[in-house]
Structure formats: C-alpha cells, structure tokens
Amino acid sequence: MKKSTYINLFAIIIVFLSFLSCKKDEQVKPEISIANTTWTGYFTYGPFRKEGDKLTKARLPFGMQFLDGGKFKFYEIFGISVGDWKIENDTITIEQENSNIIKLKYAQGKLAFISMQGAPEPWEAFDLEKSEPEIVDNIENSEWQTNDITYLRILSLETVPKVTTDLLLSFNEPVYKMQNILWWQTKTHLCFAVIRSKNEMSFICTRPASDRFGEYELTKKVQ
C-alpha cells in the first residue's frame, strides 16, 4: 500500500472519531443545562403533619438551586442548607451538608424524584418544576387570596419588601426573597411561600418547633 493511501486512511479515521466526539458532546449538553437553574416543588416527611389533621402528611413547598461548579442550595421553611451535586447519565446525586443523599432523574428538561438516603423517616419530593425569573414580575403591592378571601399582601415599603396577612400571622414583616421563593419570621410563626406561576402561590406556616403546618394554595387577586 502506498504511503499516500496510509495518510488518506488515517485522515478518514481522525474525521470519523471527531464526528463521534461531537455527537457525544451533543448528547451531554441537555444534561449540563441544569447548572445555574432554580427548581421548586413539594416534599413530605414522615413526622410533618397538616394542621388540624394528624393523619395527613403536610405538603411543604421548597426550592433548590443547582449552582455552577457543583454547589447546591436547598430552601425550605426552616432555612437554607447547602451541599454538592453531580450528574451521571440522567441521574443527579445531591449530597447535603447533613449527609443526606437525594437522587433525581433529569431527562428531557424535567426532574423527577428517585430516592432520599439518610432521613430517619420517609422523605419524598414531587411536582418539581423549573422556575423562570419572569414569574415574579410585579409582585410588589400584590394581593393573594384563597376561597375569595384576601389572605396575604406583599407590600413595598422603602427598599425592603414586606408582607401582611389577614389572619394576623404577621404585620409588616420583612420578606426575604430568592427569585420566586419568599420567607419570613414573626414572633409566633415561620412562613414560607413559593410563587409557582404568575397567578399561583403555595404558602405554609408553622409555629417554631412545631410539626403541624398550615397549608394554603393562593391565587393572585385581580385588581
């Protein structure tokens, strides 16, 4: 075989391998897009029960961030916790600072709960949705209601957003905000809310050290 033939054959092999590498990269890109995104959903945990119903598990809204560099943040009514995340094929593994391990499936731009390891009692997550920043536009001076009764008002006083409720859980309390996640604390209650769309909010409250939660699904009041 001539030298030129060897060279041509070698060039073809290089091009073929490059093509395979590009195809592999294309398959990886959708998975990597999870970085720097925020997701919300609900979780249930064995001991946490709905207020007034000791047999029903409370549905607690929560949020989580997959930060670039493999860092992870988890937002819930009790505060913020951190950890690390990684993805292999279509499985995301989250190692929390308390040594719990959460596994999620990420495929076609959607997240689904697989398992939680480490929690003393059953922990499950569901209704996971990617949060888009624009859903929280114009929430200042908005009112949210349940059963046709105005329940919660998000105010804008000075430079710090504040909140008041009709049920006297809080009055002009400062609100801490992370994209579409809101939480605040009064002398008697912890409060947490996730704005799930422009017109829908999941809200919970509890007394400190309590395992009973008040649950409310609110809609934005039309002015």
Q: How large a percentage of the chain has pLDDT more than 70? A: 79
Q: Across the beta sheet with 91-96, what order do the strands follow?
A: 110-117, 101-107, 91-96, 79-88, 71-76, 60-66, 37-45, 123-130
Cα separation values, 92 from 12, 101, 180, Å: 37, 10, 23
Q: What is the pLDDT of residues 15-36, one digit of tens each?
A: 445 555 554 444 434 445 899 9
- Mean pLDDT lowest for which of 10-14, 96-100, 197-201? 10-14
pTM of the model: 0.80
